[in-house]
Structure 1
């Protein structure tokens, strides 16, 4: 193919990729051309006869690889949100090629010598703060990637990186296939007792989309605990759904991820030793705000004991309720009886809230409304702009005065071609170097109702939308010079902070009152229900914290093994790791078990799943600051925007936080939020 739509920057508004022109056949030639172009550009930088300077080395590296960058952003969003046999095959083919391409750059001794030369004179080169920080980041990243190793070690490192890229890609594809295959087929509508009419209709629609003329399909979401477990009244159906969730990736056959988990963990440990670290966790954390595995372990262990204590107290109450129904209580029953107990104790029925959470109203009058009040930005849907899938909607984002900010794309619905979970991707990354605006995507996995029926969100789905939109704001509102620092290109254990803060506006009275409107009657959510909801805040945190800590503990355990440690059984390793941490609770399984733990075995959160609660320390402290300073005001939003969202990754994140808060974050607000302070 002589040319592709990626060859030049898009001429569409905000440089939106020309999705109407892009086909699966364009990706491979664009990647190959992009790698060739990038190699040539880097070679010119490396071989420049002039002494190394910021402009001819560091800034030049930022300018290099634009074609490769354009196609990669589009392709990896496509492969995660709307994959096909062609994109799956190409992703597996590309994984070792791209790993080798990156290694060719990161392990180039001559290039590293030029970077080091600039790094050594950075304080005397007249650089502004962002440029100086860019030099430091390049030097650190090349050092940790192995640029200073000997030739033999570099050769082995290249082999490890190529193999790992193949394995992690295969893990993701296996998981998607097994998740689709294990979706629960229900023949008798009576087995759906407890579900709302809308949920039943969505299950029927899911069956229809799979080509079934009768019956119902309950699709699986990524975490262990499935949302419908809260409502399904029949214990045997709950048990079947939980069993399907927990077996993902661990059935003998083509989608078995157990051998992949063992090999990925072992190879990561070997790579870490090559790089001079005791473990993969140590190698990863050396370039995060946490710095060391001991710091992470200290935090997790501090929280584990009170969390499991609270979970045990919660379980005792739920077991009594199940016993009264003649049910032998198990993990599959926890969400169902938790909801019943919530309703009994606080008069809160989260299922009864769904009619008040119509998706478009939540988006426009909740998510967008809060952002407008805080940051002055406005949202206008652009049906004239084509996204990558018919379900994906495009919105133009502007400042109060009409000046451009970027584009926001929402891809709400689940489908078999989309991986589980919820996430944000950039399609164009804001930077001043190329005068690029921001184009960002939020992906969720909400069941799609039949045509003509409203999309009613669950309480958790509303929370997820606010959370993911926090990532989108980070991508939209950052204003940096260099692409490396755009938006969410920050330390992994800081990236969740802005998104977690944005969750607070979901229940903020002014925001909730604006969007929580019954989709049929137009009546606002009754105040007594709102009061009960606020009163129940913090309820069931023992379970929520314990299942999260169990997953974070597994992640750390897998990535703290040494290169010579022998691990032969995934289930046994999990059991021992959780027992050692006091988190081996049969009724509270980890939020993700290893064979479907996509975050850490294919999603880039390896040794980093602790990030959510690490960032939540900052989040809870920030929520307290907003309460202390008047809440949902433009003044507060401008401060948060300018000092945190706006800087992207262009400064040390903890220094940026101190500039916002006036001090380091305190942990006490987190402990109080999760009922861990007593």
Structure 2
């Protein structure tokens, strides 16, 4: 069983000293002989689906070609029943509880469910249809109920607690100790210490929340598609490229709107085309379509979000804590809402000053073009793009010509992985996939042995969730003898027929980012899958991925992949310099939208128990107005009605993690730059200190093992251009001592 909810913070600081006794593992009594073990061979239902055993494909990859859409729901329902039977057998073992027959036995449980649900979950996110959506909605409460049946099982918890209470008298490896600590903490967090009445209420809440999450996710996907705007004439699309206009025409034709143009929405508030569209009315329509989606009609998320917030606030009340954020952050590097909020608020004054300065600059630039209007959110990206191009000679469309998607992957991302870690890659065509655009690769380690299987799903589809992500189909585990099977999923705009697949610079850095997640999973070398690879806290898991973004601009790596798709010319040095300089421009918007979303998330989850919020948009507006930022011009990256991260993807009271881990990433990358740069020796150090460690150690220990110091915020602020590089800045409160 892989809980996927792992412990961090001060509770783990003592682990290094908690495992020094020499008593044989599992002895629950001292001074007396253990009773002879009782023979115990419980009957467990046997699976009948294709997931009954690990597949016979390489690396036990999912057999997508053997499962119809209609089969997924019964497959997973059967897997749920099997996992519950396995857990029940552990809970009622007549032998005294030991680390092996309780904690390790739980690690062995759930194989059928893990194999099937990992594959199903990816399909729901990346290739959903009506049948899969219905299955997801039906399964969500069943899975929530399964989780509660495990964590609120009194007999099982009694065994876990008995092992935990005896930990000082046990001989364990550090990883054993971490697994025991995290397992116990997960049970307590899930309500194992609550009384029966509160547990019963918690079960009802969790089932309802799971249903609401599935509903919100589907409504956000459908609402984004429904909010696309139709433009009547090509002239109104001035500023877009021919390829973009052709794609808009194709999108219109698919809707039966021949002769018109449809602009579809990305998942974020800001829409990339706002930078290009010369027609201000079209910009306004596009922005408002994004800003106002999911507020009304059949795709409205408002009622579901209102109920979600109320139920989460009630959870805080059941546990007797100040708010949901306090309950949720039990396993984080930043160990309290105050730490996370303080970290962000300390950056607000410098960020606000940058926003005011940039707003004045963009207003002046608009007036140079004869504008008589006051700058609005749909104008900011447009004039920022003009200033960026004028100041830094930066033309995003020209830059794209140097970034062919396959070349970025194979000659950039893979090249970096080879030079830094010694990895090699072999493309293969014998692995079944769920869409023809997906590529698969065998990954070989530095000694030539097989390390992992890697899937690459690069292009946007109407039935794919927005954004980018990494997922494990199979998680590494020495206990189970499993090597990782990993996928990277992105939403790069697909090419028009006959055109090359080109990436923006943002797409490029996202590819390096997601492959950082993949490396975190590939280099996993843990006994237990619950501690393996990316099974870490929200405010640690984004650190390795953001860290690897830095290598996208490494001169050696860049020269190898950034080549013009027609001429083969390497990207000019002046263009690279322009990208670097421009990276510090417009941070009032780029950083501002992230901090605003992060603070909005914390506001939603800092509501005290017993407080009702009926006016969702009113609460949001009040929260935005009190941030001290120019949210009138720089809205949050996600607005409440379509904030999928916090209502679906587990980032509730956790969206700050992107900024927290950005701090860690810039600090760690500065260590690379100051100690010889990209090299095999550096790669070995990265892998040995944090990238291959999963959650086998406390987060602060892994960070110090690599850098030699506690996290410092200066490198991030310098990279963002919020302070001059030669200024001395005090560490942000919360970065130090946040173990």
TM bracket, shorter-chain basis: over 0.9
**Residue aligning to 1:129:** 174
CA contact (8 A) 1:413 1:444 kept: yes
**Residue aligning to 2:569:** 523
Matches of 1:505 and 1:248 in 2, distance apart? 36
**Residue aligning to 1:217:** 262
Q: What secondary structure does 1:332 align onto? A: coil
Q: What secondary structure does 2:425 align onto? A: strand
CA contact (8 A) 2:685 2:706 kept: yes
**Residue aligning to 2:309:** 265
**Residue aligning to 2:497:** 451
- TM-score, length-scaled by structure 2: 0.90
What's the CA shift for 1:478?
1.2
CA contact (8 A) 1:303 1:676 kept: no
**Residue aligning to 2:277:** 232
Find 1:47's aligned residue among 92, 101, 105. 92
**Residue aligning to 1:574:** 620
**Residue aligning to 2:377:** 331
**Residue aligning to 2:219:** 174
Unaligned stretches of 5+ in structure 2? 1-45, 725-739
Q: What secondary structure does 1:395 align onto? A: strand
What's the CA shift for 1:440?
1.0
**Residue aligning to 2:131:** 86
Find 1:319's aligned residue among 353, 358, 363. 363
Taking a change above 3 Å as real, the CA distance of residues 296 and 281 of structure 1, as seen in their structure-2 partners, is: same
Taking a change above 3 Å as real, the CA distance of residues 452 and 295 of structure 1, as seen in their structure-2 partners, is: same
What's the CA shift for 1:577?
0.9
Q: What secondary structure does 1:78 align onto? A: helix
Find 2:517's aligned residue among 471, 493, 497. 471
Cα displacement string for residues 237-266 of structure 1 (whole angstroms, at most 9, x for unaligned residues): 21111111111211x222111122221111
CA contact (8 A) 1:239 1:332 kept: yes
In the alignment, structure 1 residue 633 sits paired with structure 2 residue 679: yes
What's the CA shift for 1:521?
1.0
**Residue aligning to 1:376:** 422
Matches of 1:351 and 1:310 in 2, distance apart? 27
In the alignment, structure 1 residue 70 sits paired with structure 2 residue 126: no
Find 1:165's aligned residue among 189, 201, 210. 210
Matches of 1:676 and 1:532 in 2, distance apart? 18
What's the CA shift for 1:666?
1.3
Cα displacement string for residues 87-119 of structure 1 (whole angstroms, at most 9, x for unaligned residues): 111111111111111101101112111111111
What's the CA shift for 1:584?
4.9
CA contact (8 A) 2:403 2:508 kept: yes
Matches of 1:93 and 1:534 in 2, distance apart? 48
Matches of 1:473 and 1:452 in 2, distance apart? 33
Does 562-571 or 314-323 show the bigger shift? 562-571
Matches of 1:197 and 1:362 in 2, distance apart? 23
Matches of 1:191 and 1:317 in 2, distance apart? 26
Cα displacement string for residues 340-386 of structure 1 (whole angstroms, at most 9, x for unaligned residues): 10111122222220111111111111111111111111112112212
Cα displacement string for residues 472-524 of structure 1 (whole angstroms, at most 9, x for unaligned residues): 11111111111111221100111110010011011111111111111011111
- Aligned positions of 1:142-541 closer than 5 A: 142-210=187-255, 213-250=258-295, 252-327=296-371, 328=373, 329-541=375-587
Cα displacement string for residues 584-638 of structure 1 (whole angstroms, at most 9, x for unaligned residues): 5211011110001000011110010000111112111101100011111111111
Matches of 1:401 and 1:87 in 2, distance apart? 41
**Residue aligning to 1:545:** 591
When the two chains are superposed, the root-mean-square deviation of aligned CA atoms in Å is 1.5
- TM-score, length-scaled by structure 1: 0.97
CA contact (8 A) 1:201 1:449 kept: no
What's the CA shift for 1:45?
0.8
Matches of 1:200 and 1:512 in 2, distance apart? 30
Matches of 1:134 and 1:348 in 2, distance apart? 50
Cα displacement string for residues 291-345 of structure 1 (whole angstroms, at most 9, x for unaligned residues): 1111111111101121111011011111111122244321111111111101111
What's the CA shift for 1:566?
2.2
Q: What secondary structure does 2:64 align onto? A: coil
- Number of aligned pairs? 677
Considering only CA atoms, is the larger Rg found in Structure 1 or Structure 2?
2
CA contact (8 A) 2:534 2:694 kept: yes
Cα displacement string for residues 523-560 of structure 1 (whole angstroms, at most 9, x for unaligned residues): 11112111222233311112111111110011000000
Runs of 4+ displaced beyond 6 Å: none
CA contact (8 A) 1:184 1:217 kept: yes
Unaligned stretches of 5+ in structure 1? none
What's the CA shift for 1:208?
4.6
Matches of 2:602 and 2:167 in 1, distance apart? 36
Q: What secondary structure does 1:286 align onto? A: helix
Matches of 1:467 and 1:608 in 2, distance apart? 18
Q: What secondary structure does 1:424 align onto? A: strand
Does 22-31 or 353-362 show the bigger shift? 22-31
Matches of 2:231 and 2:414 in 1, distance apart? 37
Matches of 1:383 and 1:333 in 2, distance apart? 46
Find 2:164's aligned residue among 109, 116, 119. 119
Matches of 2:180 and 2:406 in 1, distance apart? 44
CA contact (8 A) 1:205 1:449 kept: no
